[in-house]
Chain A
């Protein structure tokens, strides 16, 4: 019996394999909570029922770097902790992402003293900076969605890093792209009736 393609109707969707794979990966981030201070509390709130990170497929927080691919650095990183942080980053599975959550992780915050690193991006790659002290759970979710958007677009973390710890976006990826994505999203929101 010949297969009647017409019988499938509108139940077929064609796409490229890459898009399907990226779509799956996007909803399968496994965060590694590197919570060293007050931001960690907000991270816990984000993962808990009210804000519910599970909606974005990132609810399984793993305390082993071998089982995670999204490092969320939430809090101050002291000079004693920095080597630990780097080591944990190196141990994570590829492809991996780093969110620098809050003023302290991103810049040292108000703790401008000998013991606190003034921004983790000086010593390791950072993909998304989440502002706030502490960031609200919505803001962190926004950061996770930003990661998702990159995963969806090009799938892999951009290579390379510049002097002074400034992140140099690889062609077609990185911070500029994120900014553009955010601008586009805002435009779409503004365009809604």
Chain B
């Protein structure tokens, strides 16, 4: 990663000063927020990751987008991590991860919400950022996380009729026989 150009203001210093963290703390207090900075080549770059509870996700995301100090007008990424057998114990098995960018204030924030297999539903953010539509479909397709309130939650990458969630850590790498299961076409029927 190259050094930021001098004339672009970058969120400096400790995480407390980060507008996204500030806005969230003001509203929800510090409980469970657990902001951690991103380290690039041994240097903290002022781009924190915060953990959000599922119940407050909708409100928190709305706040991050609408509060003029945060103004996260772009959802740059929405993905998921399966922490099955991860060495450090995490609050839940699946970490649905949101990457936010403020194009006007030039700062970024990562937000994570943890869910477990017992209840895989997460509120959809499609009403805030339209771009979340396909990203949420992808996470649903590959991890099985269900986004409540999504307008059209269908599989997006795997073939129609596919039953599994292949990016889960307990899915066998070579699959469960789908790739071997086609009916061969012969020369005679062609």
Contacts and interface: CB of A to CB of B under 8 A. Distances in A.
Contacts of A79: 158-159, 175, 178-179
Contact of B182 (A90, A92, A112, A117): A117
A157 B190 CA distance: 11
B178 A122 contact: no
Contact of A94 (B172, B174, B184, B190): B190
A83 B175 CA distance: 18
A89 interface: yes
Given A90-B189, A114-B179, A123 B172 contact: no
B174 to A, nearest CB: 6
A118 B174 CA distance: 10
Contacts of B158: 79-80, 115
B117 interface: no
Interface residues of B, number: 22
A32 B190 CA distance: 16
If over half of A's interface residues share one DSSP class (helix, strand or loop), that class is named, otherwise mixed; here it is loop
Q: What is the interface of chain B mostly: helix, strand, loop, or mixed?
A: loop
Interface in A91-113: 92, 94, 96, 112-113
Interface in B171-190: 171-176, 178-180, 182-190
A161 B190 contact: no
22 contacts: A79-B158, A79-B159, A79-B175, A79-B179, A90-B189, A90-B190, A114-B173, A114-B174, A114-B175, A116-B179, A117-B179, A117-B182, A118-B180, A123-B183, A123-B185, A125-B185, A125-B190, A157-B187, A158-B187, A160-B188, A161-B184, A161-B187
Interface of A: 79-80, 82-83, 86, 89-90, 92, 94, 96, 112-118, 122-125, 157-161, 165
Given A83-B182, A125-B185, A160-B187, 9 more contacts: A79-B179, A82-B182, A90-B185, A112-B173, A114-B166, A114-B175, A115-B166, A117-B182, A123-B182
Interface of B: 157-159, 166, 171-176, 178-180, 182-190
